[in-house]
Structure 1
Amino acid sequence: MAVVLEKRGNLKPFRSKAIAESLNLSVVGSELVGLVPLSALLDAANFYIQRENLMILDDDQKVKLAIDRLGLNSLYSFDPKERIIEWKVESSDPPKPLLDLRLTQFIKEGAALGSMVGLLTYGKKQWEEFDSTMRDIIPPLYGGVDHLLRFVEADTNAFNKYVEAIRQTKNAESDVAQTALLNAINVPMELERKLASLWSVLETISKIGNPNCISDVQVAVKCVETGIYGARCNVIINCKSLTDANLRKSLIQEANSLYKEAQQKCQQI
């Protein structure tokens, strides 16, 4: 939302840039009043990344790009740690994750190794014919590290709500408790699905990626397989307390199916 501050003259007519360019001058910059969501700056950064054909993956670097291109430091200092909502709000007592920390490390390493191979392929003359493909498949792996690890906190929150529902109702089979339990099951189930979505990317990297990094790809797929196995175990354990037999059977079948696919993909790659 644009806010007019007449004394500062912070809003300029949209034609100002064209007029300035015709005079070989530049518009000073922009100003954001108050706090801004991280997504707004990332959207702006992605616009410039696409327009300028850049390869930037880190959110920190994307924010720096947005600040630079929008001229947010031109009028006043723009401190992203103080002005971006998500970065300003810090958790004073983060929950202890229920998903095993060693499992999350496997997940992190798998995605990180996959993106590393992509980065060691992208921009290299001998594989430049694959640059456009790498631009598409690197971000899901690179960004997947943080995205996938968010399931750890989600798992903790969901299970805590299930425990609280049992405490309040005094009945693990109550509708409230069962709904909370299903939410707790859906977190590792969704983690399995997200990890499974990486197979096509890893397959592509194994075929066209830097051949000197093939062992890294092999470790990456093993890490993803292990992540799926761990999530599957979490689903099956929690399903034991689910009273809906049909739903329980369906979830267990899907969890087992995704793990079976993971074993096949791991061997194949």
Structure 2
Amino acid sequence: MDTTFIDELASAAPTPGGGGAAAYAGALASALASMVGNLTVGKKTYAAVEGEVQDALAALAELRGRLLGLIDEDARAFEPLAAAYRMPKDTSEELAAKQAAVQAALGGACEAPLAIMRACADVLEQADFLARNGSRLAVSDAGAAATLACSAIVAASLNVYINVASLEDENLAARFRDEADEFVERGNSRADETLEYVMAHIG
């Protein structure tokens, strides 16, 4: 097994960090949900939902690729912020330049985790669909996929919240925070519904 990403995540390097880990978890959730779909297609018992399951598999494959790409995108978005924090601040001019650079970089550092949250919310919806319509033999896996996707949403939100705390543009900070809040609230609600269904249909 290639452990490169895990080893890099465990190192003292600033990236990958929480955002990359969230994207990776979302990709795992997509893969697990896809397993449920692949165990469903071609089975006579589920012929009525064959087309919808195929659509879910296509959507999950696209989301998986997007989330894996967002691991690197999140790291790239953090680089300008990290560079800004390393700028000197020995004079008033240097301090002003540093503060301006930090503010300019904070927006981009919020956009990447929000994109991760957006993709994970879509994975969660597909996992819920497959929990309710996929193979009964894999209903627990669909529940696990939903749990992973929801956890990834919450994990990514923390990167948004820590960055907006430093944003001086209150309107922009409120927009980022509100969007993150909505994803977390909807994600938790959907995951709870999915798990309730899964637990009722296990065994």
TM-score range, shorter chain: 0.7 to 0.9
Displacement of 1:99: 2.8
1:100-179 equivalences under 5 Å are: 102-165=21-84, 167=87, 170=95, 171-174=97-100, 176-179=101-104
Displacement of 1:199: 3.4
Q: 152, 158, 166: which one pairs with 1:233?
A: 158
Q: 106, 119, 124: which one pairs with 1:194?
A: 119
> What is the aligned-residue RMSD (CA, Å)?
2.1
Q: In 2, Cα distance between the equivalents of 1:251 and 1:263?
A: 18
Q: In 1, Cα distance between the equivalents of 2:149 and 2:165?
A: 25
Which 4+ runs in 1 deviate beyond 6 A?
none
- Of residues 208-217 and 125-134 in structure 1, the stretch that sits farther from structure 2 once superposed is 125-134
Displacement of 1:105: 4.3
Residue pair 1:110, 1:224 contacting (<8 A) in 2 also: yes
Q: What's 2:128 paired with?
A: 203
Amino acid in the other structure paired with 2:27: K
Residue pair 1:235, 1:255 contacting (<8 A) in 2 also: yes
Q: In 2, Cα distance between the equivalents of 1:156 and 1:198?
A: 22
Unaligned runs of at least 5 residues, structure 1? 1-94
Q: In 1, Cα distance between the equivalents of 2:22 and 2:84?
A: 27
Amino acid in the other structure paired with 2:51: S
Amino acid in the other structure paired with 1:135: Q
1:102-145 deviation digits (Å, cap 9, x = unpaired):
54443232111100000100111221222111121112213322
Amino acid in the other structure paired with 2:116: L
1:261 aligns with 2:186: yes
Structure scoring higher RCO (CA < 8 A, sep ≥ 6) equals: 2
Q: 242, 250, 255: which one pairs with 2:167?
A: 242
Unaligned runs of at least 5 residues, structure 2? 1-13, 89-93, 195-203
Q: 139, 144, 152: which one pairs with 1:219?
A: 144
Amino acid in the other structure paired with 2:80: K
Displacement of 1:189: 1.0
How does the TM-score come out when normalised to structure 1?
A: 0.59
1:201-239 deviation digits (Å, cap 9, x = unpaired):
222212210011110011000000100001100100111
Count of residue correspondences: 174
How does the TM-score come out when normalised to structure 2?
A: 0.77
Q: In 2, Cα distance between the equivalents of 1:253 and 1:132?
A: 36
What percentage of residue pairs aligned between the two structures are identical?
26
The alpha-carbon distance between structure 1 residues 123 and 151, as it changes in their structure 2 partners (threshold 3 A), is: same
Q: In 2, Cα distance between the equivalents of 1:180 and 1:238?
A: 10
Q: What's 2:200 paired with?
A: none
Displacement of 1:181: 1.5
Displacement of 1:178: 2.0
Q: In 1, Cα distance between the equivalents of 2:123 and 2:105?
A: 28
